[in-house]
Amino acid sequence: MGHLPSDVARTGSAPRATPRLPAASTPRLEGASLNRGDWSLHRKGAIDQARHKQKVKEALRQNLADVVSEQSLITSDGKKIVRVPIRSLEEYRFRFDQGNEENVGEGDGDSQVGDVLERYGRGQGAGRGPGAGEEPGIDYYEAEVSMEELAELVFEDLGLPNLEPKRLQELESESVRFTDIRKSGPFSNLDKKRTIRENLKRNALQGRPRFGDITGDDLRFKTWERDVRRDSNAVVLAMMDVSGSMGTFEKYVSRAFYFWMVAFLRSKYDRVEIVFIAHHTEAKEVTEEEFFTRGESGGTKASSAYRLALDVIAARYPPDAWNIYPFHFSDGDNWPSDNEVCRRLADELVGQCNLFGYGEIRQGRYGHQSTLMHTLERVESPKFLRVTIGDKADVYPALRTFFGPGEAA
């Protein structure tokens, strides 16, 4: 009989196997593998969707003047998704020859990339003019975009001009920046490049120069921090003519401008105060809802709005503590004897504010100035800016005139 191991001899049974521990202290991630197959076909849908979104964004940027003046946006009642008509973007479709042999053939070899080709068919362009026509119209594409995406395009380089350091509290503008890398975090913030790099580095140190067997030690996640930019106090005084001479078009343009102005201020700055003033022969401070919805009638004395703005500044917004921005929109049909009073009060406002903007709405009358505009032209200060709006598409250029980078300090 052979010799038994000493531990068997003592216990009368075979020894228990010692459990093996994994070489690494961190578990492997199940399901992580390297595949050399071509997955581009599986990603075609996502790639096409991303390309289409980029084309929509480019088309929106090219058509911002028309998009901003769309009534469906002004009356969207806070909807998150809106439909925007874009005339330079068409839906994808096949075009077939309509039997006209003149549209078939080869080129002469002189064409270059970017050349504009004749449209197929009759070649006469879209039907236009009075009376019933027989030519086709120009189709356009309606894109669904969120108000946040649209606002980002409209406001991307706008800002309050000539901001100066003031005492007391400051207004904040907050954004998020990815500034650090950590070993834990949500998988939506996984930094794939750094994760692959860490995996390659670990495998190389173990004598396996390859990618694979991802463990928790390889994972790297992007983290962010709040980027708070502090600017000085700011108040905007929005003055609007609501007299009887302001027709449907004039009131719509005024409200459209102020709609985008308010949206811009609240998207770029966390705390900025807005005072709403409506006037006819008398001016009164109103709520935001009343400012955008109520209608008035009667004559026009623009000086009443300027005088009330000065009273509000004196009572609540001393110029040594606040950056002040008054804006006034009117059709310019002011009581004649009031024009000189307006000029004097405008001079007084300019002396206390960072920028004073006056917008005059003259539908289809770009070359015709009102007596009020003619009088206000004598306000000689770089802080006083004037615009004339003769069409809905002029709302966006007016925004850029008052808040564009050319005016920012």
Q: Are residues 296 and 374 in the same domain?
A: yes
In a domain, 149, yes or no: no
Question: For the whole model, what pTM was predicted?
Answer: 0.61
pLDDT digits (tens, 9 = 90+) for 367-387: 577 899 999 999 999 999 999
Q: Do 335 and 350 share a domain, yes or no?
A: yes
Residue 228 has pLDDT above 60, yes or no: no
- Residue 346 shares a structural domain with residue 307: yes
Contacting residues for 373 by C-beta, under 8 A, at least 6 apart: 332, 358, 360, 386, 388
CATH classification at residue 300: 3.40.50.410
Q: Could you tell me if 339 and 288 lie in one domain?
A: yes
310 shares a domain with 204: no
The helix-helix angle for 44-62 and 147-155 (nearest 10°) equals 50
The DSSP symbol for 269 reads -
The confidence score (pLDDT) of residue 68 equals 78
Instruction: Tell me what the mean pLDDT of segment 389-401 comes to.
Output: 92
* Coil vs helix vs strand at 385: strand
Q: Would 213 be classed as within a structural domain?
A: yes
Of 190, 208, 229, which residue constitutes the final position of a domain? Answer: 229
Answer whether residue 31 is part of any domain: no
**What domain range is 391 assigned to?**
233-403
Judgement on whether residues 180 and 252 belong to the same structural domain of the protein: no
Looking at the fold, whether 306 and 222 belong to one and the same domain comes out as: no
- Residues 240, 90: Cα–Cα separation, whole Å: 38
Distance of alpha carbon 403 from alpha carbon 212, whole angstroms: 53
Per-residue pLDDT, 50: 74
Q: Does any domain span residue 280?
A: yes
In angstroms, the CA 114 to CA 126 distance is: 22
pLDDT at 59 over 90: no
216 and 265 within one domain: no
Give the 3-state secondary structure of residue 315: helix
Q: Do 243 and 208 share a structural domain?
A: no
Are residues 241 and 254 in contact, defined by beta-carbon separation less than 8 angstroms?
Answer: yes
In the prediction, which pLDDT does 125 show? 46
What's the mean pLDDT in 138-164? 75
pLDDT band of 217, cuts 50, 70, 90: confident
- Number of folded domains that form the chain: 2
pLDDT: which is higher, 43 or 293: 293
Alpha-carbon span 277 to 324, nearest angstrom:
15
**Are 291 and 387 found together in one domain?**
yes
DSSP H helical ranges for 2-127:
6-11, 44-62, 64-68, 71-74
Which helix (H) or strand (E) covers residue 285, if one does? strand 283-286
Q: Are residues 251 and 320 in the same domain?
A: yes
Residue 300 shares a structural domain with residue 330: yes
Q: What is the pLDDT of residues 128-138, one digit of tens each?
A: 555 565 655 55
Residue 397 in any domain: the answer is yes
Reduced to 3 states, what is the DSSP secondary structure of residue 363?
coil
Evaluate whether 189 touches 164 at the Cβ level (below 8 Å).
no
Domain boundary among 229, 246, 269: 229
Residue 148 has pLDDT above 70, yes or no: yes
